[in-house]
Structure 1
Amino acid sequence: MDSSPYDVVIVGAGFGGIGAAIQLKRLGYHNVVILEREADLGGTWHINRYPGLAVDIPSTTYSYWFEPNPYWSRLFAPGPELKRYADHVADKYDVRRYMRFNTTVASALWDEDAQLWQVALAGGETLATRFLITATGFLSQPHTPDIPGIETFDGKVIHTTAWDDSYDFRGRRVAVIGTGATAVQLVPELAKQVADLTVYQRTAIHVVPKIDFAIPVWLQHVFARVPLVHRAFRLVTDTVFELMIVTGVLHYRRFRRLNIAAADLAKINRFVSVRDKELRRKLTPDYDFGCKRPTWSNSYYRTFTKPHVHLETGSIERIETDGIVTADGRKTVIDTLVLATGFDLWEANFPAIEIVGREGRNLGKWWRENRFQAYQGVSIPYFPNYLSLASPYGFSGLSFFNTMEYQMRHMDRLFSEVKRRGATTFEVTEEANARFLDRMTELLDDSVFYRGDCATSRSYYFNPSGEAALLRPTSTRNAVREGSTFPLSDYAIA
């Protein structure tokens, strides 16, 4: 065990962990370590490298508000640019020096006597720390489908989170399982290379036209030299996407027509791209727009009209050594299997590691027995000196950076008060947590998740109990304001 405790241990070196480290450094905390299981920083933008990878929020909005990047090449920047942006921010704010890579955290236990967290690493080492912050992201635990025979398939198997850049897809007979946001980006790119492509769809997805364009170099220079112009451009993208989530999704009861209009956009996209009525029917979702994360593409639907691309909507019965057999007995022979099956959000991610707080309370067990909940999306009673940046009701808006903005402000207010009082511990009160949960539950009653038809959506917004406990059902402006003004009396600080 390391005998000298850290001030703060941060788990995860993605944009969440980087933002938390920057905020702590501003507050005067330098005895900090960031533990990252991967070989480099960047989180999802380090792990994901599949063809077609791009941000699905305008790049101006998908960035730290305090560190705008005037040099995005496109409105929706490709993945490698996001990785470079993460590197740039970590270096500019000098937080890379806190990072330990290839370090997997197994668990964290609150030591009541020492008033410290004991953080156990997979290699057997234990670190002690005053404060613990988990910044493991909402989408960090890849999901592999439990399909009979998948382990015995003789061909190449690639999960989109572990892409093999050396594999040559040319001339291959490929199957893709999954039709979520990743597949919407990946499928059109694979179709350009392979000899034959079969896409297995369990749930159709709404795909609206993507208004994307290259940002001219001269405009990038204007953004760099006149930051006000860049901020004005960001204000437009922020406002458009905030209106989408607040009106069409969170205030569905009052703005149902806007939600229907968004679904109509996807319908028009299908009609323009796909002339075959039966194919168009298969690609049409039977749930309301917004039940799943909105998706944009100008090529996804059109890809299925190519003669070598096939959409399979029958359920998969099993995988054999050389192909996939559907429930009706039909077999498709393949040599390559691509799993675009997303992430295990609720079972493996809430929490991503075992966390045990006061009186032996196990966070994962407590959440599953007492509803998923977290005060302001970051704090949980009985877990002193702990903030979880990927918590129930933690995700604000459609951009993760909206979430980081309010969470960094929350950290600033909370840790500043802890320092001012010369305190050693903080813990949210059960009363404050209960009030917040009641308010979130009430606000969600107006949303598409409860007022609309989401029964068949299979959306990761819903936890296993059927509660839409991922998104914070307020505007980003509200979340940011409360991050700066929440009552300090909501915490027991001693």
Structure 2
Amino acid sequence: MTAEGFDAVIVGAGFAGMGAAIQLNRLGFENLAILDREDDLGGTWHVNRYPRLTVDIPTTTYSYWFEPNPYWSRLHAPGDELKSYADHVAEKYDLRRYMRFGTTVESARWDEDSQRWQVALAGGDTLTAQFLITATGYLSQPRIPDIPGIAGFEGRIMHSAKWDGGYSLDGRHVAIIGTGVTAVQLIPELAERAAELTVYQRTPIWVVPRVDFAIPAAVQRLFARFPLSQRLLRVLTDAIAEAGIFTAVVHYNWSKPLNRGAAQVSKLHMFASVRDRATRRKLTPDYDFGCKRTTFSNHYYRTFALPHVHLETTGIAQIEPDGIINGEGRKTVTDTLVLATGFDLWDANFPAIEVIGRAGANLGKWWRENNFQTYEGLSVPGFPNYLNMASPYAFTGASFFTMTEYQMRHMSRLFGELLRRGSDTFEITERASAAFHRRISRRLGDMVFFRGNCATSRSYYFRGNATITRPTSRRNAIRESMRFPLSDYHFS
């Protein structure tokens, strides 16, 4: 069978994948394939549909700078508006023509003879491409807990990333496992509808009040007519969002008082919502603010003051067909089990598919042997014509879009030089990759993950001595994406 050939294969039809396709189009590459295992575009905003899903930073910041949306209904827009925004971007930039849904990529292998990537699909088909870009996001592999007896549960099980909107929770005896960001949004909704709700908490989370409000139609019309007015608001929300990351996470060494202050705000928020001292003790983390993703809610803590909501912190011994046995041997009868257990980032998503580079180098193995390093959050030596967009040391500025757009700038400089030289391949040199990693590693000691008390946080932000967060400012990331030495890459 003859394999289809493309300029580039992009794995993932979320905002990172669409950003990569837009940038490649700007550079003149039109023969693209965007592959996604789901049945539509949008990535996490297509997959996640649970009640009260909202973006947890201002949507003025959580959007492309080059494609503002003046019609957000709220400062923190609901999930369906993010999906509509993704549809709008795909339509405006004519990206659906490249997309193939229900297409699972099993592996990609660099072929030295043809100087092309061989991309193997489930079902046996193969595509070839000059360039390979993986844009599978950070939160794309749902984590299913390995709890004894879970396979034998006879009630309904739903993971937050596979929500069944047609299933009624009214009057149910619901148990939810997990108290991360998703659970903070979901638990108040479950409490409103369930007859009994039991929350199984392994690790408590710091929660601070959310500043949110509806954006009046008149203001939306103003944004549409005078885009500069929305730009000014975005400058403000960008600065606030980055300030939180820059102080609470990146420069913890000099911002400890701010972190402690944020933790006190969370405690006061909890005190105002929950009067029972024992419950407050259970809800209070024993790790520093900033170790896990900052979480905002005006409803989460007060949910635990309701008489039909129960907080379990002794663990789960096993699951029986009709209920859950906690760590003390007490059974709670349950007919609906909600898994807000997050995503398997480090083990299943780095990388999300098998990637084999030059001389049989395996990316997953290489990352684990070399501390998950990447050059500027994109490139890895030994993997020609390959970029991984949601990678270690890539996330910056508190917004996924900030990361995506500085990577698009990096692509513009890199591919522009490739075209200028008339070359066919690029590959980051081992020297440049190692130098970048040494420089980044020197800054890790300032971060809360490695200087603060994060041992009990079970945060997906870091693993060992590696992190997904770039330990620099957003400004630094943008500047370097436009000025990195072209000699750091080998062109041939």
Band of TM-score, shorter chain: over 0.9
- 3-state SS of the aligned residue for 1:10? strand
Q: CA deviation at 1:307?
A: 0.5
Alpha-carbon distance between aligned partners in 2 of 1:415 and 1:25, rounded to the nearest angstrom? 11
Quick check: 1:207 aligned with 2:202? no
User: Which letter does structure 2 place at the counterpart of 1:83?
Assistant: K
User: Which letter does structure 2 place at the counterpart of 1:52?
Assistant: R
Match of 1:174 in 2: 174
Give structure 2 stretches of 5+ with no counterpart. Answer: none
Alpha-carbon distance between aligned partners in 2 of 1:263 and 1:437, rounded to the nearest angstrom? 32
Matches for 1:142-161 after TM superposition, within 5 Å: 142-161=142-161
Match of 1:335 in 2: 335
Indicate if the aligned counterparts of 1:2 and 1:128 stay in contact, CA closer than 8 A. Answer: no
Indicate if the aligned counterparts of 1:373 and 1:469 stay in contact, CA closer than 8 A. Answer: no
Matches for 1:338-377 after TM superposition, within 5 Å: 338-377=338-377
Indicate if the aligned counterparts of 2:117 and 2:132 stay in contact, CA closer than 8 A. Answer: yes
Q: CA deviation at 1:390?
A: 1.4
Q: TM-score, normalised by structure 2?
A: 0.99
Matches for 1:125-164 after TM superposition, within 5 Å: 125-164=125-164
**Which of the residues 471, 475, 485 maps onto 1:473?**
471
Quick check: 1:318 aligned with 2:283? no
Aligned sequence identity (%): 66
User: Which letter does structure 1 place at the counterpart of 2:185?
Assistant: Q
Give structure 1 stretches of 5+ with no counterpart. Answer: none
Q: Deviation per CA, 1:140-176, whole angstroms, max 9, x where unpaired?
A: 0000000000000000000010001110101100000
User: Which letter does structure 1 place at the counterpart of 2:303?
Assistant: T
Match of 2:110 in 1: 110
How has the CA–CA distance of structure 1 residues 399 and 64 changed in structure 2, closer, same or farther, with 3 Å as cutoff?
same
Q: CA deviation at 1:439?
A: 1.3
**Which of the residues 477, 480, 489 maps onto 1:491?**
489
Alpha-carbon distance between aligned partners in 2 of 1:348 and 1:409, rounded to the nearest angstrom? 28
Match of 1:52 in 2: 52
Matches for 1:265-276 after TM superposition, within 5 Å: 265-276=265-276
Indicate if the aligned counterparts of 2:3 and 2:126 stay in contact, CA closer than 8 A. Answer: no
Alpha-carbon distance between aligned partners in 1 of 2:40 and 2:471, rounded to the nearest angstrom? 33
Quick check: 1:296 aligned with 2:296? yes
Alpha-carbon distance between aligned partners in 2 of 1:130 and 1:249, rounded to the nearest angstrom? 38
Q: CA deviation at 1:477?
A: 1.1
Q: CA deviation at 1:267?
A: 1.1
User: Which letter does structure 2 place at the counterpart of 1:222?
Assistant: L
Alpha-carbon distance between aligned partners in 1 of 2:436 and 2:109, rounded to the nearest angstrom? 26
Q: Deviation per CA, 1:387-420, whole angstroms, max 9, x where unpaired?
A: 0001111111211001011100000000000001
Match of 2:253 in 1: 253
Q: CA deviation at 1:3?
A: 4.0
RMSD between aligned residues: 0.8
Match of 1:379 in 2: 379
How has the CA–CA distance of structure 1 residues 4 and 455 changed in structure 2, closer, same or farther, with 3 Å as cutoff?
closer
Q: CA deviation at 1:352?
A: 0.1
Alpha-carbon distance between aligned partners in 1 of 2:108 and 2:158, rounded to the nearest angstrom? 32
Match of 1:122 in 2: 122
Quick check: 1:183 aligned with 2:193? no
Indicate if the aligned counterparts of 1:432 and 1:490 stay in contact, CA closer than 8 A. Answer: yes
User: Which letter does structure 2 place at the counterpart of 1:48?
Assistant: N
Alpha-carbon distance between aligned partners in 2 of 1:77 and 1:426, rounded to the nearest angstrom? 40
- 3-state SS of the aligned residue for 2:347? helix
Match of 2:396 in 1: 396
Q: Deviation per CA, 1:180-204, whole angstroms, max 9, x where unpaired?
A: 0000000001111110000000000
User: Which letter does structure 1 place at the counterpart of 2:481?
Assistant: G
Q: CA deviation at 1:4?
A: 4.7
Match of 1:406 in 2: 406
Q: CA deviation at 1:315?
A: 1.1
Q: CA deviation at 1:2?
A: 4.1
